[in-house]
Amino acid sequence: MAVKKYDYLIVGNSAGGIGCVEGIRREDREGSIAILADEKHHTYSRPLITHLLEGDVDRRGMDYRPRDFYRKHSVEPFLGFKAGSLDLDRRSVRIEGEKGNGSRNLRFDKLLLATGGSPFIPPMEGADLGGVTTMITLDQSLEVKRRLGRVKNAVVLGAGLIGTKTAEALSKVVDRVTVVELADRVLSLVSDETSSRLAADAFRKKGVEILLGNSIMEIRGKGKGKGKGRGKVEEVLLLDGTVIPCDLLVVAVGVRPRTELAEGTDIGVDTTRTGGGFLVEDNMATNIEGVYACGDASHAHDFVTGAHHLLPLWPNAYIGGRIAGLNMAGVPSRHRWATNMNSVDFFGFPMVSAGFLKRPNRKGFTEIIRDEEGKYARLVLKDDVIKGMVMAGNVARAGIYLGLMRNKVKTTSFSEHLLAHDFGAVHLPDEVKEKMKQPIRVIE
């Protein structure tokens, strides 16, 4: 079996992997780099896969970096290859291509695990029917787009970020879209009750049906069998007995970190009970010398809570990868500026959230709220320092609030203006203005 050795081996070709390449190449122009991914595509911007459905972008427009990126950065790509096993004693990864072709061992001095997440599909009868899919890869988006001409009724199971963005895109190209969510509100992980209701209203105004407190018990269709020629989904049966016609079912109930490559090794992985994910330090190093991790498969430091946990966000993946790359190239760096920040727009209705979404029931926490005519804001503070925010309908000042959060500014002297309509730099003390002018060093 062929064996080749690299100074740096990167498993993952998305934001974290690309960030790692650019971090390494900032300091080391000579070291050999290989990048490995089971998807065969040139690196692409994963948040755009739903925009591909509605035609906002074409495939080329999804490129995350120019097509000559690997050549210009002297990176050997292994795209369409699966990482089969990891041997830490020999410091090698065994890979194989489609149908087991091209098997070989890639040895490494330093390794990044940017393996991302894999979608969770709950056990449901009929889940293997044609027209049932998840929506986290380009191939899945391309396949859905290919069959859209035959779809009149689409159902999305799950009302998190992936589910709602998929529903929004489908609503522009499909006659009827229904979102089914087991929780009692949409976007429950990135919103509070009020902003969730406003978001659901935005969907309903555009004709998207939102069914809460419900789920799919059975997927029904014509025909049987798997693979090409298998049966096709025709309807779904919900827990409450409702039957909905369905030509396309997108399952978006959650994503789990992909850590299976570390199975059987000593690499530290969190328990699945608390979400899983590679355990890392602030420099993105695992407990194994020379092995790093980042992105959706890894924990990261949360500057709001001070804890390390999963932060599956595209910017966090890139920054974590870049910091890992700098450390792999010998430049000590730390990732200290992440938090669970989300910025999203549905049918022109914007929402932003970061840090705590509600006031924790702990000493020192307070909150202030403004709620009027579809424009909503909630700030969570601890000892007069902003620790969280939720904004919906008008997010014009989200950047100021995030800057105050990151700089840990005490708001005592201007707290009465925080949610005023005209709140801005004019209300900030001069010393705070100067502090806010300084660029945030997301890499320390």
Rounded Cα distance between 40 and 341, Å, is 30
Q: Are 79 and 37 in contact (CB under 8 A)?
A: yes
Give the number of other Cβ atoms within 10 Å of residue 155's Cβ.
29
Q: Edge-to-edge strands of the sheet including 209-212?
A: 132-133, 248-251, 153-157, 176-181, 209-212
State the pLDDT at residue 99.
73
Tens of pLDDT, residue by residue over 169-198, are: 999 999 999 999 999 999 999 999 999 999
* Start-to-end C-alpha separation, the chain: 42
Q: Quick check: 233 and 135 in contact, CB under 8 A?
A: no
User: pLDDT 10s digit of each residue in the chain, 444 long?
Assistant: 677 899 999 999 999 999 999 999 999 999 999 999 999 999 999 999 999 998 889 999 999 999 999 999 999 999 999 999 999 999 999 999 887 777 899 999 999 999 999 998 899 999 999 999 999 999 999 999 999 999 999 999 999 999 999 999 999 999 999 999 999 999 999 999 999 999 999 999 999 999 999 999 999 997 655 555 568 999 999 999 999 999 999 999 999 999 999 999 999 999 877 789 999 999 999 999 999 999 999 999 999 999 999 999 999 999 999 999 999 999 999 998 899 999 999 999 999 999 999 999 999 999 999 999 889 999 999 999 999 999 999 999 999 999 999 999 999 999 999 999 899 889 998 988 887 777 656 556
The DSSP element (H or E) to which 139 belongs, if any, is: helix 138-147
CA distance 315 to 41: 20
Bridging pattern class, strands 375-382 and 385-392: antiparallel
Tell me how many degrees the CA angle 261-267-268 measures, rounded to the nearest 5. Answer: 115
Name the β-bridge partners of 385. Answer: 382, 410
Q: Residue 443: its pLDDT value, please?
A: 59
E strands in 334-419? 342-346, 349-355, 365-372, 375-382, 385-392
pLDDT single digits (tens) 14-70? 999 999 999 999 999 999 999 999 999 999 999 999 999 988 899 999 999 999 999
What is the model's pLDDT at position 222? 79
User: Whole-angstrom Cα distance, residue 178 to residue 190?
Assistant: 21
Residue 409 CA, distance from chain mean position: 28
**For residue 400, which of 373, 427, 360 has the smallest C-alpha distance?**
427
The sign one gets for the Cα dihedral 179, 180, 184, 190 is negative
Distance CA 314, CA 142 (A): 21
In whole angstroms, give the CA distance from residue 254 to residue 346: 20
| Helix (H) / strand (E) containing 250 | strand 248-251
| pLDDT score at 319 | 95
214 within 8 A of 208, measured Cβ to Cβ: no
pLDDT at 49: 95
CB atoms within 10 A of CB 153: 19
What's the pLDDT at 440? 58
Q: State the pLDDT at residue 119.
A: 93
Burial of 274 (0-12, 13-18, 19+ CB in 10 A): exposed
Residue 22 pLDDT:
98
Distance CA 13, CA 20 (A): 10
Q: For 248-279, what is each residue's pLDDT tens digit? A: 999 999 999 999 999 999 999 998 777 899 99
Report pTM: 0.92
Q: In this predicted structure, what is the pLDDT of residue 266?
A: 97
Residue 233, phi then psi, degrees to nearest 5 = -65, 140
Alpha-carbon distance 66 to 43, whole Å?
Answer: 9
Contact 367, 380 (CB under 8 A): yes
